[in-house]
Amino acid sequence: MDYKETLNLPGTAFPMKANLAGREPETLKKWEEENIYGRIRELSEGREKFILHDGPPYANGNIHIGHALNKVLKDIIVKSRQMNGFDAPYVPGWDCHGLPIELQVEKKLGKKKHELTTVEVRKLCREYAESFVDIQRDDFKRLGVFGDWERPYLTMNHEYEAAIVRELGRFMESGSLYKGKKPVHWCASCRTALAEAEVEYADHESSSIYVKFPIKSDIGAKVPELKGKKPSVVIWTTTPWTIPANMAVCLHPDFSYAAVEAQNKTGKDILIIAEDLLEKCMAELGVEGYKTVATFKGSVLENEVCSHPFLERESLVINGRHVTLEAGTGCVHTAPGHGQDDYVVGLKYGLEVYNPVNNGGVYNDDVEFFAGEHVFKANPLVIEKLEEVGALLKASRLKHSYPHCWRCKKPILFRATDQWFISMEKNDLRKKALAEINSTEWIPAWGKDRIYSMVENRPDWCLSRQRAWGVPVTAFRCSSCEEMVMDSEIVEKIAAMVEKESSDVWFAKDAAELLPEGFKCPSCGGSDFEKEKDILDVWFDSGVSHSAVLEQREELGSPADLYLEGSDQHRGWFHSSLLASVGTRGRAPYKMVLTHGFVVDKKGKKMSKSAGNVIAPQDVIKKYGADILRLWVSAEDYSDDIKISEENLTRISDAYRRIRNTARYILGNLGEFDRKKDALPYAELEELDRWALHRLNILIGKVQNAYESFEFHQIYHAVHNFCSIDMSAFYLDILKDRLYCSGSLSEWRRSAQTVLFEIIDAIVKLMAPVISFTAEEIWSHMPAFEGKEPSVHMTRLPEPKKEWSDEALAERWGRLIQIRGEVSKALELARRDKVIGHSLDAGVVVEAGDELSDFLRSFEPELNRIFIISKASIAALDGKTPTYESEEIEGLKIAVSSASGEKCERCWNYDDSTGSNVKNLKVCSRCYEVVKEIE
C-alpha cells in the first residue's frame, strides 16, 4: 500500500515563491476593477472619522526612497485605523507651484523664455507639474497605497488657488499682512527671497577678519583711564562684503569690556574687546604683550560714535542682548540691511536699513570703491581696502556652516528688500501659536520642543517671492499716493475669478479689469492702480490646505487628527500650516503631529546621486516587490534616521519568507476545513491548541497597541517572532504528526485546524496594513466562510478574546518548552555521536525530582509527540546509557537511545505495535485504525 495516499498532506494553491514583482500588479488591477477603495468608503459610512491629512510632495522629479517611506507610513496608519472601525479616507495631494518647476521650464526654454509672456511661461509650468503628478501618482499606487487617486488635491487647481487668495484676504482683513523693508534670505542666483525651509546649511569657506572701528570722541568723561586716548572697538566678521553697509557696532550692556594697549600689525593701539574673550583674541591676533588700561560695562559706551573704517560715515555704538561670548570679540559689526538681529536692534536706535546690493548680488552703482562688483567676489577687495587704511588687524580663512539655497545649492545673502510679511506679534500670532503647540500631541515628543523654539524665535513670515509661477499677492498700489490697497471685497472678486479661470487671470488682466468698476483709492481718491508683481511663498500655498482641502472635501474635516511628515517639516509644512491656521482660525489645523527621520545608507550617510549611494524605490520594487519595501518601513524605528542597504533588504526578505511560509503551511492544512461545520468550541480544544490561542491573543494585543501608538517596528518583530518561534519552531512542528497522520475527520485534527484557522485569520488581518499585497493574496486562498469579504482590507482587525487568555496554561507550557529545549540539546548530542539519525529514531528517558516528574507525567501520553521523538518515559536512569545533565534545570537528566519497536511506514514513529494488526501491515496501531477507516 502507498501510505502517502492515506496521509492528510498539506495542499494549497498559495505559492511558496512570492514573485511579488510580477504578482503585485495583478492585485493592483483587481483592487481597481473591484473598486475596493470605494467599497471601503461605503462600508465606513457613519463611522467616527480619522483624518490623516497628506502633506503634499513637490510635483518635480520621480519619487525617491524618502517618498516611499513617507507614503507607506501614512498608508499603514490609514489602513490600520480603517480596519479598527474608523472612517479613514485618504486624499493625496501635490504641491505644484514654485521655483524648482519654474527653473526647469526656463532651462528647457533657454533664450526663448524672453520671447514668452508670463502667462505662457506659467502654462508651461502647469504642464510640467501635471506630468510629474501623473508619474508620481503611478509610483505611489504601485506601493500599494490606498487613496482617492482620481481626485487628489493640487495646489494649482483653480479651487485651491482661490482658497489661497481668500486665506491671504483673511490676513489682510485682520491687519496682520504688511509690506516692509527687512533683511531676508536671498538667493542672488535664483533672484528671489527664500523661506527658512528653503535654506539648507553646508560647509563653506569664508574670509574671517578682525577690524578696528576708531571711536571719534574723547570718552575720558566716561572712562577716565582713556582720557586723551584714541581707542578702537574691534569687530570680527566672516562677511567682509557687508562692511560697506555697516551702520553701528553693538556691545552687550552687561558684559565687561577691556581697553588694552597692544602692539599689533597696525602699530600701537588701544583696542576694546570683551574681557572674557581678551586672551583668545590676543592669541588670534598674534599679540604676545598687552596691558589692560581700563575695564567697563558695555552700557558705558552706548551712543558713542565710531568712524567707519573707509567711508565718510559714522558708526554708532549701540547695546544689544543678542551679543554673545561664543566667538569673535563681543563687539558686533551691525548692518541692519544684512541681518535679522542687526535689523531688530537697528530699529531701536533708528538706524537706516541700508542695502547697497541689487537682486543679482552686485553692489549698486553708488557704492564707493566696489560699485558693480559681485559681493562674494568683493571680499578680497574689501579686505585689501581695510589693509590700505590701516583698519585690518587680521584676515584668515574659516570653514564653517553657511546657508545655501536648497535649489541651486549656492551660498545665499541676507539682504533687506521690500517684501510682504505676516506679523508674528499682530493679533498675538506668536503667543497663540505657542499655546497651540502645547495643546498638540507630538510624536516623538521631542518634536514639540523643536517647533516651539522655532516659532518662539522666528521673525515675521516673509510671504513674497519674486518669481512668476505661483499665486499672486493680490494687492494694488495707488499710482497717485503709493498707498497699498488691500480690501476684502476686492479679494473676494479676484478669488471668484481665480476659481473660474485660475490665478493666470492676475497676470492676463490689467488692474482696472480686476478691481470693482469705479473703484477709488481710499486714501487719495485716485483711480489709477498698479498690480503687485510678487507671488506667494509656496509654504503659504500648502500651509492653507486646512482651508482648501480639509474644510472643502465632505469626506474630510478640520482639524485633522494627524499630520505626518519628515523632521524637516518642523520648519516647513507643520510650521506654515500652524501659522496659517492659528492666524485665521485661532487653532492648530492638527491634533497630532508625527515626525519621521531621513533615509540614509548603511553608513548613516545622506543619500545623493553624487555620492553614488542612492537606492531608488522603483529598483527595490523591481527586484524584491513593494511588500518588501513596506515591510522594511515597518521594521525600522522611524523616529530616527532610517538605514537602507542591500544587506538590510536581504534580511527583510528572509523575514518575509518566514512569515509567508508560515501562512502557506497553515493554508495547506485547511484545504477541506469548513469553519461553520468543522470548528470545535474552545472547551473541546486540545491543551496545546488552547496554548496557541493564548499566544495568538498576546500577539493581537501587542499589534493593536503598536498600531494605536504608531510603533510599527513592534508589529514587525511581534509577528515575525510569532511565526518563527511560537509557530514554526514549536507549535507547527509538533502539530505535523497530528495533522498528517490522524483521521481527517477526527476531533484531534479538527482541534488543530480550528486553531490554525483562527491564527491565519488573525495574522492576515494584522499584517494587512503592512504587507498589503501578500495579505490580499493569503486572504484569497483562505477557505470560504460565511461573511467573508471580497478583500481583507474590508475586514476589521481582530480584538483579543478574554476566553483565549489563560495565564496558568501559558506558565505550564512555558515550563514544558524550557524542558523541551533541554531534550533537543540531548538529541543533538546523540545525533553527533551517531546514536540516532532523525529525532523519530530516538527513545528518551527523563529523570527528574518528584515534582518535575509528576509535571512531565501530566503531559503523557503526548510527551513523545511534543518532543518529536518515538518514545518518552519518566523514570530513574540505569546509569548505562550516556546521560545529558541540564545546566538550566536542576535535577533534570536525559538519556537518549534508539527507540524500541519497529518503524511505522506511515507515521515513521517506532512503536511496539507496528505490524501486529490482523493484516500484518507495517503500521502502528494508531495508523492502522486510520487506514482501516479509509479502506
> Could you report the per-residue pLDDT of 598-614, keeping only the tens digit for each?
999 988 898 877 778 89
**Highest mean pLDDT (candidates 378-382, 542-546, 875-879, 886-890):** 542-546
pLDDT of residue 755: 98
Q: For residue 192, give the nearest of 421, 422, 405 by alpha carbon.
A: 405
Residue 642's contacts (CB-CB under 8 Å, 6 or more residues apart) are: 69, 596, 597, 598, 599, 600, 636
Distance of CA 267 to the CA centre of its chain: 57
- Measure CA of the first residue to CA of the last residue in the chain; give whole Å: 11
pLDDT, mean of residues 123-138: 97
pLDDT beyond 80 at 197: no
- Sign of the dihedral defined by the CA atoms of residues 342, 343, 344, 345, in that order: positive
In the numeric block, the cell 461553520 is attached to 676
What DSSP string describes 752-802?
HHHHHHHHHHHHHHHHTTTSHHHHHHHHHHSPP-TT--SSGGGS------G
Amino acid identity of 393?
L
Q: What is the rounded distance in angstroms from the CA atom of residue 357 to the CA atom of residue 367?
A: 9
For β-strands 177-187 and 413-422, DSSP reports them as: antiparallel
pLDDT tens for 50-77 read 999 999 999 998 999 999 999 999 999 9
Report yes or no: 288 and 250 within 8 Å, Cβ to Cβ. no
Report yes or no: 694 and 805 within 8 Å, Cβ to Cβ. yes
pLDDT tens for 432-462 read 999 999 999 999 999 999 999 999 988 899 8
* Relative orientation angle of helices 573-585 and 158-174, to the nearest 10 degrees: 60
**What confidence tier does 403 reach under pLDDT thresholds 50, 70, 90?**
confident
- Sign of the dihedral defined by the CA atoms of residues 733, 735, 737, 740, in that order: negative
In the numeric block, the cell 498707498 is attached to 483
Partnered with residue 897 across adjacent β-strands are: 843
Give the CA distances from residue 385 to residues 308, 392, 853, in Å, rounded to whole numbers and listed in that order: 12, 9, 97
pLDDT beyond 70 at 336: yes
Q: What is the rounded distance in angstroms from the CA atom of residue 22 to the CA atom of residue 13?
A: 17
Give the CA distances from residue 312 to residues 308, 309, 381, 426, 770, in Å, rounded to whole numbers and listed in that order: 7, 9, 18, 39, 70
Q: What is the rounded distance in angstroms from the CA atom of residue 75 to the CA atom of residue 62?
A: 19
**Rg for the chain, CA atoms, rounded:** 38
pLDDT of residue 102: 92
pLDDT of residue 146: 98
Q: What is the rounded distance in angstroms from the CA atom of residue 523 to the CA atom of residue 477?
A: 11
**What confidence tier does 191 reach under pLDDT thresholds 50, 70, 90?**
confident
Give the CA distances from residue 374 to residues 333, 358, 380, in Å, rounded to whole numbers and listed in that order: 21, 9, 11
For β-strands 52-53 and 560-566, DSSP reports them as: parallel
HSE value, Cβ hemisphere, 13 Å, CA-based, for 742: 17
Amino acid identity of 840?
L
Amino acid identity of 390?
G
pLDDT, mean of residues 351-361: 91
Q: For residue 490, give the nearest of 462, 531, 461, 525 by alpha carbon.
A: 531
Report yes or no: 523 and 567 within 8 Å, Cβ to Cβ. no
pLDDT tens for 521-565 read 999 999 999 999 999 999 999 999 999 999 999 999 999 999 999
pLDDT of residue 472: 96
pLDDT of residue 667: 97
pLDDT, mean of residues 825-830: 96
Report yes or no: 31 and 791 within 8 Å, Cβ to Cβ. yes
HSE value, Cβ hemisphere, 13 Å, CA-based, for 209: 22
Q: What is the rounded distance in angstroms from the CA atom of residue 646 to the CA atom of residue 916?
A: 58
Q: For residue 533, give the nearest of 475, 460, 461 by alpha carbon.
A: 475
**What confidence tier does 581 reach under pLDDT thresholds 50, 70, 90?**
very high
pLDDT beyond 80 at 418: yes
pLDDT, mean of residues 758-774: 98
For β-strands 476-478 and 484-485, DSSP reports them as: antiparallel
pLDDT beyond 80 at 277: yes
**What confidence tier does 928 reach under pLDDT thresholds 50, 70, 90?**
very high
Total residue length of the chain = 935
Could you tell me the three cell numbers for 899? Answer: 527507540
Amino acid identity of 578?
L
Q: What backbone phi and psi angles, to 5 degrees, belong to 2?
A: -90, 95
Exposed, middle or buried by CB within 10 Å (0-12, 13-18, 19+), for 319? buried
Q: What backbone phi and psi angles, to 5 degrees, belong to 791?
A: -140, 145
Q: Map residue 517 onto helix, strand or coil.
A: coil
pLDDT beyond 90 at 398: no
Average pLDDT of the chain, as a whole number: 93
pLDDT of residue 286: 87
Q: What is the rounded distance in angstroms from the CA atom of residue 419 to the CA atom of residue 353?
A: 13
pLDDT beyond 90 at 113: no
Q: Map residue 138 onto helix, strand or coil.
A: helix
pLDDT of residue 711: 96
Q: What is the rounded distance in angstroms from the CA atom of residue 910 to the CA atom of residue 840?
A: 7
- Sign of the dihedral defined by the CA atoms of residues 892, 898, 904, 907, in that order: positive
pLDDT, mean of residues 147-157: 97
Report yes or no: 872 and 846 within 8 Å, Cβ to Cβ. yes
Q: What backbone phi and psi angles, to 5 degrees, belong to 506?
A: -65, -35
Other Cβ atoms closer than 10 A to 855: 16
Other Cβ atoms closer than 10 A to 800: 16
HEC readout, 562-602: EEEEEHHHHCCHHHHHHHHHHHHHCCCCEEEEEEECCEECC
pLDDT of residue 459: 86
**What confidence tier does 266 reach under pLDDT thresholds 50, 70, 90?**
low
Give the CA distances from residue 144 to residues 86, 249, 527, in Å, rounded to whole numbers and listed in that order: 20, 60, 57
Quote the DSSP letter at residue 686.
Answer: -
Partnered with residue 210 across adjacent β-strands are: 236, 394
Report yes or no: 254 and 297 within 8 Å, Cβ to Cβ. yes
Least confident of 186-195, 441-450, 752-761, 880-889: 186-195
In the numeric block, the cell 561670548 is attached to 325
Least confident of 92-96, 604-608, 867-871, 929-933: 604-608
Residue 153's contacts (CB-CB under 8 Å, 6 or more residues apart) are: 56, 91, 92, 93, 94, 160, 545, 548, 549, 553
pLDDT beyond 80 at 342: yes
pLDDT beyond 80 at 629: yes
Q: Map residue 231 onto helix, strand or coil.
A: coil
Could you tell me the three cell numbers for 487? Answer: 480690501
Tell whether omega for the bond before 861 is within 30 degrees of 0, i.e. cis: yes
Q: What percent of the chain stands above pLDDT 90?
A: 81
Residue 203's contacts (CB-CB under 8 Å, 6 or more residues apart) are: 399, 400, 401, 402
Residue 529's contacts (CB-CB under 8 Å, 6 or more residues apart) are: 476, 477, 478, 479, 485, 511, 512, 515, 519, 521
Q: For residue 305, give the nearest of 265, 338, 349, 264 by alpha carbon.
A: 349
Q: What is the rounded distance in angstroms from the CA atom of residue 257 to the CA atom of residue 906?
A: 97
pLDDT beyond 90 at 210: yes
